[in-house]
Amino acid sequence: NAGVTQTPKFQVLKTGQSMTLQCAQDMNHNSMYWYRQDPGMGLRLIYYSASEGTTDKGEVPNGYNVSRLNKREFSLRLESAAPSQTSVYFCASSGGYQPQHFGDGTRLSIL
Amino acid sequence: GQQVMQIPQYQHVQEGEDFTTYCNSSTTLSNIQWYKQRPGGHPVFLIQLVKSGEVKKQKRLTFQFGEAKKNSSLHITATQTTDVGTYFCPAYSGAGSYQLTFGKGTKLSVIP
């Protein structure tokens, strides 16, 4: 089982560039999440999608947009990347109140 | 949303020593989950506690949920280098919400 798959694994951008982080899950989960993790800051929720067709802001949504393309896929877009968005990004999925399953992460550096 | 404070933020132990991390909430929790993140890895679910006073064990790991469902602890007996990582005890952000608030966790270092 693949679980949660994130692409790319690594990316370097220049300030002002845009990019989309992709996430797909094969566990038929309704809920999907995007987190960022910075040193000493723990995991912070950017956006989540409780079910297909819905998205909601988390703790740190500024500078990001999301799309729940279908039940399997949830993408995160940076329209104009800033150095403050340098981070490790994790996608996760869950079936409601069940445990969350995480992808391997995308390590993003913005110069 | 519900905030769970976790202490300590960092812990260094000699291999073979015991280790405990504590999570405390000002409000009653419906349940609490525990995750472990190895260095360079992603968070991995360990266990979920639901019942008041619940105690669950996984080999050398013992998880407890307080009687008032406001606190929880993870105790590791005789730590090994494989226990290195950050342990999180996220709680749901509020009634009807599927959001988990993770916080900073406890980063455990084990000195061989």
- Report whether pLDDT(A15) > 70: yes
pLDDT band at A1 (very low <50, low <70, confident <90, very high): low
Nearest by CB: A102 against B31, B43, B103: B43
For the purposes of burial, counting CB atoms within 10 Å of the CB of A23, is it exposed (0-12), middle (13-18) or buried (19 or more)? buried
Q: If we measure between CA atoms, which residue out of B66, B96, B55 comes closest to residue B4?
A: B66
pLDDT of residue A101: 97
- Yes or no, beta carbons of A45 and B99 under 8 Å apart: yes
What are the distances in angstroms from CA A5 to CA A73, A99, A103?
A: 10, 17, 5
End-to-end CA separation in angstroms for chain A: 36
Q: If we measure between CA atoms, which residue out of B56, B34, B53 comes closest to residue B44?
A: B34
Length of chain B: 112
> CA of B31: which chain A residue's CA is closest?
A97
pLDDT band at B2 (very low <50, low <70, confident <90, very high): low
- Report whether pLDDT(B1) > 60: no
Q: Measured between beta carbons, which residues in chain B are less than 8 angstroms from residue A43?
A: 43, 88, 90, 102-103
For the purposes of burial, counting CB atoms within 10 Å of the CB of A86, is it exposed (0-12), middle (13-18) or buried (19 or more)? middle
> Tens digits of per-residue pLDDT, B15-59?
999 999 999 998 899 899 999 999 999 999 999 999 999 999 999
Q: List all residues of chain B from 73 to 102 with a beta carbon under 8 Å from chain A.
A: 88, 90, 92, 98-102
Q: Are B21 and B74 in contact (CB under 8 A)?
A: yes
- Yes or no, beta carbons of A104 and B43 under 8 Å apart: no
pLDDT of residue B18: 98
> Tens digits of per-residue pLDDT, B88-110?
999 887 667 778 888 899 999 99
Query: What does the pLDDT average to over A39-54?
Result: 91
Query: What does the pLDDT average to over A34-52?
Result: 92
End-to-end CA separation in angstroms for chain B: 40
> Tens digits of per-residue pLDDT, B55-92?
999 999 999 999 999 999 999 999 999 999 999 999 88
Nearest by CB: A100 against B31, B45, B105: B45
- Report whether pLDDT(B111) > 80: yes
Nearest by CB: A99 against B41, B45, B103: B45
The span from the CA of A63 to the CA of A80, in Å, is 8
Using the Cβ of B7 and the Cβ atoms of chain A, whether some distance falls under 8 Å is answered with no
